[in-house]
Every structure is written in structure tokens, then in C-alpha cells.
Amino acid sequence: MIVLKTTGELALMREAGAISAGALKVAGEAVEPGVSTWEIDRIAHEYILRHGATPTFLGYGGFPATACISVNDEVIHGIPSKKRVLREGDIVSIDLGATIHGYVGDNAATFAVGDISAEAKRLIDTTRESLYEGIARAVAGGRLGDIGHAVQSYCETRGYGVVREYTGHGVGTEMHEEPSVPNYGTPGRGVRLLPGMVIAIEPMINEGTHAIRNMPDGWTVKTRDGKLSAHFEHTVAITADGPKILTRL
């Protein structure tokens, strides 16, 4: 069931989104060669608590950390570790959420570790740009397929693979609500977008094939061909006045 949010609920979600965005910002600022993914997670965790919220991901389905931190060919759900130390030229995706007043904010971004290759930068830029292509189609009266098609066409025409098995989702009092929000689709098809809907749009884009593989830890997802992957996400409200990004500082 899709839950439409009231104006008051959207205000609470905006607060959750701002904390999530702030935590992602400080986590991204900590990204540099020699830093462990555990340290980045600690920084995000402390930020969320300091702002009166709780880390949404911590304990979710048994996940052991505040943030999913995925490096290079890791698509999503990377587990922070003291042993995973970032190196010059890596790219690192950070995905995290904060819950306050019972509502969730959820966002993600991919960061460069020092100087990165032109190919890695192009992948990051394209993935970020595709997120905003999708957000631009998140308008009342439209369809979910409009969003997915915008992301898919933007990335695939540039030679990238769009992950199929994982999608965006509704957001509210739970991190994952209906509907699912695929990063692929057909314009004019799918659930109709209504004012009060809140969705996470999150392109997961691979440098090569869209195919993925799941790691033995039960969480980490990697590209099947070992090529790079990037991930960006915003929590977005559908309103009569157009899409409103809730995870923006």
C-alpha cells in the first residue's frame, strides 16, 4: 500500500532528510587516501546522534553499521571495516539514513578518493546527472515508468549498465515502503504519481554490464565483470508544485 503524506508529515520528513544529508556531507568530507571505511561510518554515526536522530540502517535486517560504504566494483551494501582502507584513485559510495520523529531520510552519493581516472569521473558524473533526470520526471500525474526511463536512457546511451535487481522505493515511517522505483522502465507505464507520495530515487550504474553478484557476507553486491559502479540517491516528495528534494541541505 502506498501511503500519501500530509503537509505536516512532509515537514517531519524534511527534518529527517536534512540530518541524513548532513551526515552524508560529513562522511564524504572524510573520504581521502588512508582513511578506513570504519572511520567514515563512525563520523556519520556520531553526526546523526548529535542531531537527535537514530541511524536508520544500523540493525536493519541485521546490518551492522550506520552506512553502507561500497568501494570501486562494489555496487551497494558494503560493510564498513577497519581493514578496508581507501587508496588514491578509488571511488566510494556512501548510503545512509536518519530517523527522527518516526520518519526516515535516505540518501547516497559516490565520492572520489584523491585523483581518479577520467573514466571513473565520467561514471560518477553520469550517475549523478541521471538522478536529476529522474527527479525531473517525478511530477504529479506522471508515472513511475517516466522516472525509470529517464535514468535508463540517460545512462545506457552513454554506454553504462543499469542495475535491475535493486531499485528505489517509497520512504516514510519505514525506510522501504511501496512503491518500488526501478531505474529502468517505459514512459507512461507504472504507478501514477500523486501529491503526497515520497520516494527514494537511486540510480546504481555500472561501468560495464548491468549484471551483479552477491558476496558471501550476505550484504555486499559487486559488479559481475569487476568494473566500477556508482550510486546516488535523494528522498523526493511528489507535490502539486513539482518534485521536492527532502535530502538537501
Say which residue, 139 or 249, is predicted with more confidence: 139
Task: Go through the domains of the chain in sequence order and give each one's CATH number.
Answer: 7-245 (3.90.230.10)
pTM: 0.98
User: For 65-81, what is each residue's pLDDT tens digit?
Assistant: 999 999 999 999 999 99
Residue 249 confidence (pLDDT): 83
Residue 179: asked if its preceding bond is cis (omega within 30°), the reply is yes
Which grid coordinates are listed for 143? Answer: 508515472
Look at residue 223 and tell me whether its pLDDT is greater than 90. Answer: yes
Which grid coordinates are listed for 180? Answer: 518500488
Confidence of residue 111 (pLDDT cuts 50, 70, 90): very high
Cα-atom radius of gyration of the chain, to the nearest Å? 17
Alpha carbon distance 90, 176 (integer Å): 29
Question: Stretch 211-232: mean pLDDT, rounded?
Answer: 98
**For residues 197 and 238, is the Cβ–Cβ distance under 8 A?**
yes
User: For 31-54, what is each residue's pLDDT tens digit?
Assistant: 999 999 999 999 999 999 999 999
